[in-house]
Structure 1
């Protein structure tokens, strides 16, 4: 490849990158501007609902039902905007040495009551000698919570979630394996695409945001699933040489 062609490709890539960043910033600003009037609408809908409750009229219940529909849609839009803003704003994050075991343990403790209520048996096999990785605790836990939450939602009537950490060549890995209903290939192919969701009322931004967070840590995420046999997520993270002996 000639230098001219190489330079032209580099310039094109840089131009596209700038355009993407400008578009992402614009979309984030637009979402923020929509969020403010939507909050006002939601607040006034709540006030209107209280006032309707004090009115004695045959049509009162029909009016309340319509108000409830508007409130539900406001809440759905607020949740969508919240997830979108989180997705759009995630770029570079500050990383410090930390334990992947500690992060997943905290997340599992947060969902302990829900797992027990749903009769989901959580089996943990965390490597005690796992090296430290560079991580951002808040964002990484948000990604892990999304994955654990999805696994539990897939096992509403009980099941098993196996969580395992282990060392790999040049890094560490975390496996989340559930024996829920699994997914078709068509779902697996699209599940990390923004706004793709098979859940009623879902924003479709949970898994794309989780992947973005993991990639911001220099890692990657893969998924294997089969209908009737469950789903397996594997998260891989690099271990910097200078941290090779940490735990």
Structure 2
């Protein structure tokens, strides 16, 4: 019943809406709860850091203000207080101090022991009686002013001759609080009696709402005693979480719109599912008449595409298995041929070689005879090497794995070929890692390198031959690239170059690269061929890489 188009057309949108919308809502709620918790944590940390920094700034500022008053009271010009500041030098000095600090101090007075203002930054207050609003030992602002005082001591008698009062503008502290909080937060400063001595303009408005709170206590500045003040910064949760609430509303609306659009989109999707499935079913039924992987139909949803990829991979695996079986059959023939040749051909070859060597030692042998004997010796040697090659390709032994430095192995291989490279005037260079390790058979890898390098040397013509060997690590693989500047290999023969009895070189029998491939695959590696940057061929060998071993 559910296979009918009518059922898919109408049931799929409904099922999609019911199956996807509810989990999305639950997931969204959980995500926003987590986001709210993370946001609260971040805001708490930010407020904590800001409160500590603001309290430290207030400590520093108050330390500097009190240091100002204390240092001024010990200046020599304060001695003018004893003679009543008759020439107004002290008053002018206090006025200059007030002007220099640009609004930090409201007024500065120097009073005698009878609390009479003798000198002042405000000329109209000279001679008046000064009554400080609070005891000098307690810092408490009044009407946005905080009096700071220090005793003026006679340097000769050591007696206190009066006091210096600097009236600090307390709004400076409130500006610091405003600057550190902005419009979304409020802050208040409390003294040691828990009395509020400064606050921001939003403090009272935010007191009746749930808030994120951070406090900081005065620590003093540069070893000075603590003021025992406490700073409290608050941010209402209604303001802190307003972006989350707005985003939640927008996202909920978005979910509803997406659910509606998805339900409508399910109508053509239902039809699009059946069509590629029918094509894939027809392909599976007609597979024998369509053996090529490229003919696998594609399209449709991801699951159908994955099924198409699986079909294509299956065909590729079948093709590779057929190629491996063909190659194995060829190598089996090579093995049988090599075994027969080893018994039936080596013996007469040995007799020919020995006879030619005996003839070469004859004194009366003519020049032509010596030349013929030389031909016999070289050809028997070539036939023996051919038999050895056939034997190697027919029975590659299992590798004896051990930790091997491929860089050292390559250097040793190059050194073995030094005489041949000088004779053929071929330059071999090696670049890449200083050390590259693999779990492999050292002798078999040496055989692989010898085969690849000798093939490159044989194919190169002229006196400017180049062979470059590059070793590097690629994730979990050790890679060896052997590139030359020879004529190269045609792209259409890249797939066949490793087949037994296939060769692009004149006089080659096509078994060397087949043996190389056998060895590399026995090491669970791979080998491929491409065009090198030098214009010739480039062979890339990939082997499993291991960590560097201590020597």
- Measured at CA, do residues 65 and 120 of structure 1 come closer, stay the same or move farther in structure 2, by a change above 3 Å? closer
Contact 1:31 1:85 in 2 (8 A): no
Contact 1:118 1:155 in 2 (8 A): no
For 2:497, which of 186, 191, 197 is the aligned residue? 191
Point out the more displaced range, 20-29 or 36-45. Answer: 20-29
- Cα drift, residue 140 of structure 1: 1.0
- Cα drift, residue 144 of structure 1: 0.2
SS in 1 for 2:382: helix
Query: Which residue of 1 is the match for residue 142 of structure 2?
Result: none
Query: Which residue of 2 is the match for residue 106 of structure 1?
Result: 412
CA distance in 2, matches of 1:65, 1:122: 35
CA distance in 1, matches of 2:443, 2:522: 13
- Measured at CA, do residues 22 and 114 of structure 1 come closer, stay the same or move farther in structure 2, by a change above 3 Å? closer
- TM-score normalized by the length of structure 2: 0.36
- Output one character per residue of 1:11-67: Cα deviation in whole Å (capped at 9) or x when no partner: xx9xx89x959766544431320223321222223334554x6257xxx83x66655
Query: Which residue of 2 is the match for residue 4 of structure 1?
Result: none
Equivalent residue runs for 1:5-16 within 5 Å = none
CA distance in 2, matches of 1:85, 1:221: 22
CA distance in 1, matches of 2:386, 2:453: 20
- Measured at CA, do residues 146 and 24 of structure 1 come closer, stay the same or move farther in structure 2, by a change above 3 Å? closer
For 1:137, which of 442, 448, 451 is the aligned residue? 442
- TM-score normalized by the length of structure 1: 0.74
For 2:478, which of 139, 158, 172 is the aligned residue? 172
Query: Which residue of 2 is the match for residue 152 of structure 1?
Result: 457
* 2:214 matches 1:214: no
CA distance in 1, matches of 2:421, 2:504: 22
- Greater relative contact order (Cα < 8 A, sep 6+): 1
- Cα drift, residue 174 of structure 1: 0.7
Contact 1:217 1:237 in 2 (8 A): yes
Equivalent residue runs for 1:61-80 within 5 Å = 61=368, 68-80=374-386
Paired positions, count: 225
Contact 1:28 1:89 in 2 (8 A): no
- Cα drift, residue 234 of structure 1: 0.4
SS in 2 for 1:173: strand
Between structure 1 and structure 2, the one with the greater Rg is 2
- Measured at CA, do residues 69 and 171 of structure 1 come closer, stay the same or move farther in structure 2, by a change above 3 Å? same
CA distance in 1, matches of 2:434, 2:377: 48
Unaligned runs of 5+ residues in structure 2 are: 1-321
How much is the aligned-residue C-alpha RMSD, in angstroms? Answer: 3.5
Contact 2:335 2:390 in 1 (8 A): no
For 1:29, which of 327, 339, 343 is the aligned residue? 339
- Measured at CA, do residues 186 and 69 of structure 1 come closer, stay the same or move farther in structure 2, by a change above 3 Å? farther
For 2:355, which of 31, 38, 44 is the aligned residue? 44
Unaligned runs of 5+ residues in structure 1 are: 1-12
- Measured at CA, do residues 26 and 149 of structure 1 come closer, stay the same or move farther in structure 2, by a change above 3 Å? closer
SS in 2 for 1:175: strand
Contact 2:406 2:435 in 1 (8 A): no
- Measured at CA, do residues 200 and 45 of structure 1 come closer, stay the same or move farther in structure 2, by a change above 3 Å? farther
- Measured at CA, do residues 199 and 64 of structure 1 come closer, stay the same or move farther in structure 2, by a change above 3 Å? farther
- Output one character per residue of 1:108-131: Cα deviation in whole Å (capped at 9) or x when no partner: 22233443554444332231353x
CA distance in 1, matches of 2:536, 2:410: 20
CA distance in 1, matches of 2:423, 2:371: 32
